[in-house]
A and B are shown apart, each in its own frame.
Chain A
Amino acid sequence: MSVSAKIGRTLVHSRRRISDEAFITLLVASVAVGLFLIASIVVPNFFQLLNMLNLVTNNWAVISLGVGVTFLLVSGNFDLSVGGILALSGVLAVWFSQSTDGHNALSTGLGMPYWLAVLCALGGALAIGGLNALFVVRLRIPSIIVTLGTMMLARGIAQVVTQGSQRNTNLPDAFGMLGNMSMFGTSLKLPVVLMVILLVIAIFIEKKTVFGRLTFWIGTNPVAAHLSGIDKSKHVTYLYLFSAVIAGVVGILLASEFKSGYSNRGTLMEFDALVIALLGGVAIAGGFGSVVGMFFGAIILAIVTSAATGLVLSPDWQYVLKAIAVFLAIIIQTWALARRNR
């Protein structure tokens, strides 16, 4: 007993180096800090507490989406449908709660009470998530194809419901509350607080629960996971449903904030969510990554975009900058993978 205890101590304490995951997360965090400092020097008025806060609060939507996308990526699956789901659930929430007595089609809804409209809109989001799971898990179609399809399907339905325009009239007063509610007597909005809660829960699930560990096992080696008795189908189904619910909630909050249902809302946000996950060190092949990394990935992207705006670069440069960020992420990713497998 004492011998094995001694062996145990040496085995546990001789871990001199930190894990790869912690290393990558630290790397991403330092890049974020470094970029912030550089931007502070180059861009006038960048180094302000409020600006730091804004980097997070302005990006609550994409960071929230990134949580679901990160878990799916770690499990070895893509989710490109989150932007579409976001638009769909927002449009549905509006349509369901618009009163029935509008003077034209776009101002006439189903007249549901707000809470019911929200639940039904979430149902719509879940349906898309369920469709993702069905095709990926049961029919074994590559997730990138499936979610590309559902991305267009969800946005397409939103487009039909809004007839290619917006729905923003005839809404109950309650509709605008959630998205604009200030918390703790500060300017902090409810969605931002929800994002923080979501991040805390996600990190807890990732690090401390069996569910989190299952995600890594499945992503690292699906065959070994299956032969180790893990029900991969069930797990990936849950992940798609969770991701869809997150996107659904984000869509409802955004619809509430702007008091409108707009089918083009969150266009390309699915790619932003993917980009921040990749920037944050999540492996595109699955099995590696963390929510914290994704968060710092979002910060990096936010700094790049807002610094560009501060440098009075025209907003047209945004995509080029994002593209550079993506290429860098992929190069570093490949390099890190090659190093790991050496």
Chain B
Amino acid sequence: MTGQQQSPALSVEGLTKDYPGVRAVDDVSFAIESSTVHCLVGENGAGKSTLVKMLTGALQPTTGSMTVRGSSYEPSNTKDARAGGIATLFQELHVVDELTVLENLTLGMEQSRFGFLVKSDLDERVVQTLAAIEPSIDPSARVASLSVAQKQIIEIARAASSGANVIIMDEPTAALSEREVERLFGVIRRLRETDVTVIYISHKLDEIFRLGDAVTVLRDGKHIATKPLSEVAGRSELIEMMIGRSVFQDYTPRTTVTDDAVLIAKGLTNTLLKDVSFDINRGEIVGFYGLVGAGKTEIARALFGADTVSGSILFKGQEVGRSPKEAIAAGIALVPEERRTQGLFTSLTIRENIPVMNLQRLSNRGVFRSSVELEAAVEYVGKLNIATNSIDKYAEKLSGGNQQKVVLAKCLFADADLLLLDEPTRGVDVGAKAEIYDIIRSVADEGNSVAVFSSELEEVLGICDRIFLLFDGSLEAEVINGADVDAAYILNVVTGGREGVLQ
């Protein structure tokens, strides 16, 4: 807000990033005033993380340019970004527990002569920086004795004292308690006073209004708006900009939905989940919608028996949830969140990937029925329209969408009655997305049930009959999908807007 005369701390011009089949960031231009807290918001898949990766040099833009303090900025790696004065606060912390706060702050910047450490004014400088942003931390304390929030502040101080003008913070409050959040905000405000610009990324809209000076909204890779938060008329306007108007038109009520509950979960609780109860009906597509970290994956893995939770899970009247093997035998299949590391055997062929979840069908007294495998591969490659010239193509050579279809084929071959799909279209191009939705619908139309765990609102509103809204590990509300569904209400609930109302 201050210093309108000087050049912006950071500006991007026509920035575009293409992936095969997807344009993740599409002609984005905006400028960030120096000494401000600039918030970056958008739904998942809006292009925030791709944008940040380009700013930090982890990715190179396809076209477009970036400017830092008036001079051109073309980082080819994170080191370049540091040299350009841009530091990133990662979610996982990079501090050394065994050293003191001071040693951590000067790590890698020590002055030395002939291999011996030399006293310099460095220590004094970092102590001053730390005192300016958080006086309560003792520089001689051992880092191991600090809380997560304090360690985070150490990292911020390190970034600030290394001369960073811009610090990017990606969901810094994810692991913090309310009081720690307040303290972090204090640190960020003091940083702003010391002429540091903060790019703040968060899904929690309240935080953005409490902290930010300006906001940039991205949607589907495109730049929607950049304006001072004082000119934004509350959450509703922000939400409107995030979701736009053109979404969720394609849902049509389905006729095969029954009210015959096939799965009943009661009181699921673990370190994240708080007493989550729900049921899924035969022939139904249910959605679990929430932000990253709201507990979607945890619920999916609990139902599948991949993680242990307390509470009860009854599937067709039978207790499940102890192991994936048992879940598959009972008729539950999971498409995991990370397809490359959890779902796919990337160094095996399509043909070898598909049959893994149904060994009974493959085994003739222990001998492999290669004819069954061959038929299954041919059948599913045709049915799911997997783009390949051969069923003996290695899974890693397929595009994201086709890889996901192979993982789906694995689950379909398992003849499951309940399909759990964790982020089924993440990193999948638009065409394959539509095809995957068609597959999901046809699976449910055949009388099976499908649970979609997604952080994309468009997705759950497009295909799900019923949507469970999650925030911070608890199931906040249930929404029946239909023409009159209120997207703003949904976004409000999953960004924590319901909490105040409940109490």
Contacts and interface: CB of A to CB of B under 8 A. Distances in A.
Do they bind each other? Answer: yes
Nearest to B344: A224
A288 interface: yes
A15 B392 contact: yes
A293 to B, nearest CB: 16
Contacts of B414: 229
- B contact residues, range: 35 or more
A216 interface: yes
Contacts of A338: none
Contact of B382 (A4, A226, A227): A4
B325 A340 contact: no
A140 interface: no
Interface residues of A, number: 34
Contacts, number: 99
Contacts of A212: 368
B345 A14 contact: no
Interface string A1-42: 000100110111011000110000000000000000000000
A228 B378 contact: no
A288 B347 CA distance: 9
Contact of A12 (B344, B362, B378): B378
B367 A19 contact: no
A291 to B, nearest CB: 16
A208 B389 contact: no
Interface in A256-315: 287-288
Contact of A15 (B336, B341, B346, B390): B390
Interface of B: 304, 306, 324-325, 327-329, 334, 336, 341-349, 352, 356-357, 359, 362-363, 366-368, 374-375, 377-379, 381-382, 388-392, 394, 396, 410, 414
7 contacts: A7-B381, A12-B391, A210-B362, A216-B352, A217-B348, A226-B306, A288-B347
B342 A208 contact: no
A287 to B, nearest CB: 6
Contacts of B389: 10-11, 14
A4 B382 CA distance: 7
Contacts of B392: 15, 19
Contacts of B327: 229
Contacts of A209: 366-368
Contacts of B366: 209-211
A4 B383 CA distance: 9
B312 to A, nearest CB: 21
A8 B368 contact: no
A229 B324 contact: yes
Contact of B359 (A7, A12, A210, A220): A210
A220 B342 CA distance: 11
A32 B467 CA distance: 62
Contact of A11 (B342, B363, B390): B390
A268 B227 CA distance: 71
A221 B345 contact: yes
Interface string A93-126: 0000000000000000000000000000000000
A229 B390 contact: no
Interface of A: 4, 7-8, 10-12, 14-15, 19-20, 208-214, 216-217, 220-221, 223-231, 287-288, 340-341
Given A221-B344, A223-B341, A229 B325 contact: yes
Contacts of B367: 208-210
A166 to B, nearest CB: 42
A37 B290 CA distance: 67
Contacts of A226: 306, 324
B378 A11 contact: yes
Given A12-B378, A341-B396, A208 B325 contact: no
Nearest to A205: B366
A217 B345 contact: yes
B342 A227 contact: yes
A231 B325 contact: yes
A210 B370 CA distance: 10
B325 A227 contact: no
A319 B455 CA distance: 58
A218 to B, nearest CB: 10
B417 to A, nearest CB: 15
Contact of B410 (A4, A210, A228): A228
A283 to B, nearest CB: 9
A17 B352 CA distance: 17
Candidate in A15, A213, A217 with the most chain B CB atoms within 10 angstroms: A213
**Top 6 A-B residue pairs of the complex, sorted by shortest distance between their CB atoms:** A229-B328, A8-B378, A229-B325, A220-B345, A228-B356, A15-B392
Contact of A210 (B343, B348, B368, B391): B368
Contact of A224 (B343, B362, B377): B343
A135 B377 CA distance: 38
